[in-house]
Amino acid sequence: MFQKILVANRGEIALRVIRACHDLGIEAVAVYSTADRGAPWLDVADQTICIGPAVSAASYLNIPRIIAAAEVSGAQAIHPGYGFLSENSKFAEQCRESGIEFIGPPVAAMDALGNKDKSKTVARKANVPTVPGSDGLVETEDEAKRFAHQVGYPVLIKASAGGGGKGMRVARDDASLVTGFAQARVEAEAAFKDGSVFLEKYLDRPRHVEVQLIGDQHGNVIHLFERDCSLQRRHQKLVEESPSPNLPDAVRKEMCAAAVRLAKEAKYYNAGTCEFLVDQQNNFYFIEVNARVQVEHPVTELVTGVDVIREQIRVAAGEKLSYAQKDVVQRGCAIEVRINAEDPARDFRPSAGVVKTWRPPGGPGVRLDSHVCAGYRVPSNYDSMVAKLLVHQPTRAEAFAVMRRALREFIVEGIHTTIPILRTIFDTPAFIEGKVDTTYIERELMPNWPG
């Protein structure tokens, strides 16, 4: 087992990984940019190293600096968290070439799955259903039109390298296809330095259900059941829960088995997530693999009792999985909400600044993963998430009651947060009944929200 791990990330996920290291008796090295100097999570680390200025390209995305920091500190492994370098196979390769273990999947699996259109080829090979789509990349408007006419509008233009909802456009006719095609390519080129796009049939009001996977280097892969992340705004998740409400057990079983098949086909190990869309007839379609730990992994930790980060570290060190599939059960209901420094009354405008009051909830059934405290300045340079609030209860109704209580108790002053809209969401009948789809917030909730 490793004695020292470098955490190549910031904020709540850096803190989460540092905690997992300490639970395993491992020292944690935190790296930070000048914008994060003096940040609270750095106090918890055993060692801290400044890796550059605020701009991510020069610090949290700066591969030579991060590898040098690991070498100087004597860390034997690097945990990339999510975002930043977590899905960068070149980074993984360079870490391993430098004799530092990258806590994540093998490079070949990252390459095979890292790209949405390539990963669909792997899915088809593993006999996993995919959303009807163009056969590979679409280079010209004419090709795009041909596909759209063949499957029928609406269609979705998707960046092959996409993430975070970027480079995605819905087209409902030839005119919007032509403009969307150009916009998606420009946006993808700017965000990922890769403007390639492909097309998919745009499913009508689907639910988003994903399967957590974990595998070791000895060929064992298991699933840790599913999470429902249908409550989204602009293709970004706001709330996640497990189990997925109103999902027939047979579909759950099939979906989990399909995810494991796909991971085995790609010779995958470490943690990953297989994302699916579920249509109104409960047919499921693979959309992509997130080859890293996800923001919402604690939902799975609560219902299964498996510590996903600890397990990631163990398998990266070459150990066998601590669980066999039959040992993993889904107990009760867990829900997570993402609390972002954004103003929902002003179109979710980012709200950086100093947190004057921070009174988080607690009590039975509540877990809070956050790097924030009173006096902390939320920098404008990075992701706006300030906390993940989770609840775990025997039933979904009880989980809702505890979440309402926790959201009522949570007081933040000095910055705007998404807490007010989350309070509304937990009183919304369609969500209480588990009947929301990925377009619900924009279609039904926001137009009627007083703010």
Would you name the residues annotated as active-site residues?
A: 292
* Residue numbers 228-247 binding ligand ADP by CB under 6 A: 232, 235
**In whole angstroms, how close is the CB of 87 to ligand ADP at the nearest point?**
10
**In whole angstroms, how close is the CB of 314 to ligand ADP at the nearest point?**
28
Applying CB under 6 A, the span of 143-151, 157-165, 188-196, 416-424 interacting with ligand ADP comes to 157-165
**In whole angstroms, how close is the CB of 203 to ligand ADP at the nearest point?**
4
Nearest to ligand ADP by Cβ — which residue? 438
**In whole angstroms, how close is the CB of 199 to ligand ADP at the nearest point?**
9
* Residue numbers 418-447 binding ligand ADP by CB under 6 A: 438
Instruction: State how far the Cα of 198 lies from the Cα of 116, in Å rounded to an integer.
Output: 9
Cβ proximity to ligand ADP, 75 vs 128, nearer residue: 128
Which residues have C-beta within 8 Å of that of residue 404, sequence separation ≥ 6? 423, 426, 427
* Residue numbers 83-142 binding ligand ADP by CB under 6 A: 131
DSSP assignment string, 253-293: HHHHHHHHHHHHHTT--EEEEEEEEE-TTS-EEEEEEE-S-
With CB under 6 A as the contact rule, the residue among 7, 20, 61, 287 that binds ligand ADP is 287
| DSSP for residue 133 | B
Pairing of strands 207-215, 168-171: unpaired
**In whole angstroms, how close is the CB of 438 to ligand ADP at the nearest point?**
3
Find tokens 């009508």 and name the residue.
204
Applying CB under 6 A, the span of 8-16, 159-167, 171-179, 357-365 interacting with ligand ADP comes to 159-167
CA 101 from centre of chain: 22
With CB under 6 A as the contact rule, the residue among 20, 103, 110, 156 that binds ligand ADP is 156
Applying CB under 6 A, the span of 145-153, 158-166, 239-247, 377-385 interacting with ligand ADP comes to 158-166
| HEC per residue, 46-61 | CEEEEEECCCHHHCCC
Instruction: State how far the Cα of 128 lies from the Cα of 225, in Å rounded to an integer.
Output: 17
With CB under 6 A as the contact rule, the residue among 40, 53, 129, 163 that binds ligand ADP is 163
With CB under 6 A as the contact rule, the residue among 226, 241, 265, 288 that binds ligand ADP is 288
Find tokens 């399967």 and name the residue.
211
* Residue numbers 191-210 binding ligand ADP by CB under 6 A: 200, 202-203, 206, 208
**In whole angstroms, how close is the CB of 245 to ligand ADP at the nearest point?**
16
Instruction: State how far the Cα of 103 lies from the Cα of 96, in Å rounded to an integer.
Output: 10
Q: Which of 371, 401, 374 is nearest to 383 (CA)?
A: 371
Q: Which of 275, 262, 270 is nearest to 215 (CA)?
A: 270
Q: Does 291 bind ligand ADP (CB under 6 A)?
A: no
**In whole angstroms, how close is the CB of 293 to ligand ADP at the nearest point?**
15
State the amino acid at position 151 in one-letter form: V
Burial 360-373 (b: 16+ CB within 10 A, else e): bbeeebbbbbbbbe
With CB under 6 A as the contact rule, the residue among 80, 83, 162, 379 that binds ligand ADP is 162
What are the φ and ψ backbone dihedral angles of 230, each rounded to 5 degrees? -75, -25
Size of the site for ligand ADP (CB under 6 A): 19
With CB under 6 A as the contact rule, the residue among 27, 241, 265, 275 that binds ligand ADP is 275
Distances (CA, A) of 425 to 336, 413, 446: 13, 21, 10
Token digits for 194?
């890769």
Binding site for ligand ADP (CB under 6 A): 131, 156, 162-165, 168, 200, 202-203, 206, 208, 232, 235, 275, 277, 287-288, 438
